[in-house]
Chains A and B, each alone.
Chain A
């Protein structure tokens, strides 16, 4: 999993998440920060395979000097990026 050193920084959370976060913290006698930190670590752990796959396939393309493969990898998110850009256009035009 991704390792994380602990240092605090303000993070905004949804208002509806505040109550359950506080409840869990009190039940476990931990601070809300510790519960949030543990939840994030669990989330990263559950998504480790996806992250590792992207990381590893990129390393392979770079080790091979494969410009074509690297270009294809970087273009994989093009559709989502195009959709995001379309959402920024003025409504009339």
Chain B
């Protein structure tokens, strides 16, 4: 699952996909658009929650106060959506039919899942989410970074901004003043969300911007073309050929 235009990345727990929506377990690795074709609830989740960035109107009372999830209405079905702010993910946690006063009512079902510790994403869901980011980041390192470097070289002294794989904010500048130098500042905060960029990702992004730099020549920079770095940025530089 990838491809999102809202601030949060849409994900669906494996339990919800299999138990509630009847999809195969490996569908957790599909793109959200492919999943939306398989289920109108997922299509509504994508269109109304993920892309519109709407949290929902009223929290599901049976899940409060631990889990502030919102109800997604699709005909008689109800979905529980939850913003995992640290991860930058909006999860579709569960789906059921609304049958007022019935033991199988969706909201009672959600509460039972929560009591059993099966409502929120588990470690496999987290692992699938994290792994889903790698191909997007890799493609971006191969295709987006050369464009950013070329743009920086074409306009020396001008800071160019980009977001690698939709998750890592970078700023790059080519300084032709004395010895030509390329500097890239990399945010240490993953976007969206509140998590840190893994240290090895920082080094890999730097390597993409400085593909010909021997590691012993890699330097840390403390400014970007004379401008202060953002508090969350780390910057690398090297003389450019």
Contacts and interface: CB of A to CB of B under 8 A. Distances in A.
Interface of A: 1-5, 7, 48, 51-52, 54-56, 58-59, 62-63, 65, 67, 70-86, 88-93
Interface stretch (B30-38, B99-107, B151-159, B208-216): B208-216
Interface of B: 63, 66-67, 84, 86-87, 114, 117, 119-121, 123, 126-127, 129-131, 133-135, 137-139, 141-142, 195, 198, 200-201, 203-204, 206-208, 211-213, 215-216, 218-223
A91 B66 contact: yes
A46 B213 CA distance: 20
Contacts of B223: 7
A38 B219 CA distance: 16
Contacts of A80: 198
A51 B203 contact: yes
B139 to A, nearest CB: 7
B141 A70 contact: yes
A75 B134 contact: yes
Given A3-B220, A54-B203, A93-B114, A88 B87 contact: yes
A74 B207 contact: no
A91 B195 CA distance: 18
